[in-house]
Amino acid sequence: MKFPLNWGSRRWRPARPELKRIIGVLLLSGTLLACSAVKLAYNQATELAYWQLNSYFEFDDTQKPLVREELARLHQWHRQTQLPAYVETLDKWTAWLPAEIDETRACGIFEEVKTRLQAISDRAVPAMGSVVGTLGQEQLDALKRKFSKLNAEYRDDFLEGSPEDLINRRLKKAVSRAEMLYGALDDKQLEVLRNRITQSVFDARLSLAEYQRRQRDALQSLGPLIAGRATSEQARPLMQAYVERAVNSPAPAFRSYQERLTRDSCKTFAALHNSTTAAQRARAVQTLQGYAQDFGILVARR
């Protein structure tokens, strides 16, 4: 399942993962699926995370065991410390889903998700510090190729085509995410989403410029650390500094835009939720309760 957190762009946080996303979000990537698959996906999260990372760095045979070992440690920490908090959060959300919500409550959801992801990212930085010293120029070259591919895909999704085409693409993605939570949307709800997307402050060019800045920052941050030029202890503060710049852009214009985009997304989530029927909200409650139950089972089996 993907929560409908940002109808103005592909998702609430940056649409294309750079180093911050790689080290911060991977262990969630396989967990929020259809409820019947949550336990299976979570138990396979280490392997899923490895293949995601490998698609960026193309690890060699000596690096693969180390990466898997660090991911396994991170996964165990996540199971022990984060899943119980997820159950509490989901229980809280299901309590207010039957009623209407306002922008403030919607933004509260954003902040909770951001806090959960930040905790994973903070924990992952030391693990990445252990891996960075094993990377070589070939891994940086692979990362450059991956960034180039992602940027081309981003342009295809958000910049190529007529204004109407771009709106329709974003609407299709937004509807798909919303229906995972609420079920099929009616014409009125589709119009709510279309209107919000049309009025959104989302700026694809500005977002792409920031993603590319982060990519350059990632490559520049990793460059001095590869091929054993730094110990894991030396690498960690430099990695942490990169993560901080990824979370809080040094560009004032982008920080201002990000704040406006978040508020815009809160309004859209609230508008959509308030347009849903009692039956749709009941379905959303049932969906989140299913997640909470599965997460509870996973916690009990740790």
**In a 10 Å sphere around its CB, with 0-12 CB exposed, 13-18 middle and 19+ buried, how is residue 71 labelled?**
buried
What domain range is 236 assigned to? Answer: 19-300
DSSP readout, 240-272?
HHHHHHHHS-S-HHHHHHHHHHHHHHHHHHHHH
Query: Residue 7 domain-assigned?
Result: no
The interaxial angle of helices 204-222 and 137-158, nearest 10 deg, is: 180
Query: Residue 170 domain-assigned?
Result: yes
Query: Residue 237 domain-assigned?
Result: yes
pLDDT, position 251 = 94
Give CA angle at 136 (148, 208), nearest 5°.
Answer: 20
Query: Residue 59 domain-assigned?
Result: yes
User: pLDDT digit string (tens) for 206-220?
Assistant: 999 999 999 999 999
Instruction: Confirm if 130 and 70 have CB atoms less than 8 A apart.
Output: yes
**In a 10 Å sphere around its CB, with 0-12 CB exposed, 13-18 middle and 19+ buried, how is residue 193 labelled?**
buried
Structure tokens that stand for 128 in this block: 């990445």
Query: Residue 4 domain-assigned?
Result: no
Structure tokens that stand for 187 in this block: 């014409």
55, 84, 242, 65: which is closest to 145 by C-alpha?
55
Q: Residue 247: pLDDT band by 50, 70, 90 thresholds?
A: confident
Query: Residue 187 domain-assigned?
Result: yes
Query: Residue 2 domain-assigned?
Result: no
Query: Residue 122 domain-assigned?
Result: yes
User: pLDDT digit string (tens) for 97-136?
Assistant: 999 999 999 999 888 888 888 888 888 888 887 888 899 9
Structure tokens that stand for 242 in this block: 């990169």
Q: What is the mean pLDDT of residues 180-194?
A: 96
- The overall average pLDDT reported for the chain is 85
Q: Is pLDDT of 15 > 90?
A: no
What φ, ψ does residue 283 adopt, rounded to 5°?
-65, -40
pLDDT, position 128 = 82
Task: Name every residue whose Cβ is closer than 8 Å to that of residue 87 and which is 6 or more positions away in sequence.
Answer: 292, 295, 296, 299
Q: Between the CA of residue 220 and those of 57, 137, 142, 216, 224, what are the distances in Å?
A: 15, 12, 14, 6, 7
What φ, ψ does residue 72 adopt, rounded to 5°?
-65, -40
Spacing of C-alpha 77 from chain mean position: 19
Instruction: Confirm if 269 and 106 have CB atoms less than 8 A apart.
Output: yes
Q: Is pLDDT of 63 > 90?
A: yes
Q: How many distinct structural domains can be found in the chain?
A: 1
User: pLDDT digit string (tens) for 198-207?
Assistant: 999 999 999 9
Q: What is the mean pLDDT of residues 7-32?
A: 37
pTM tops 0.75, yes or no: yes
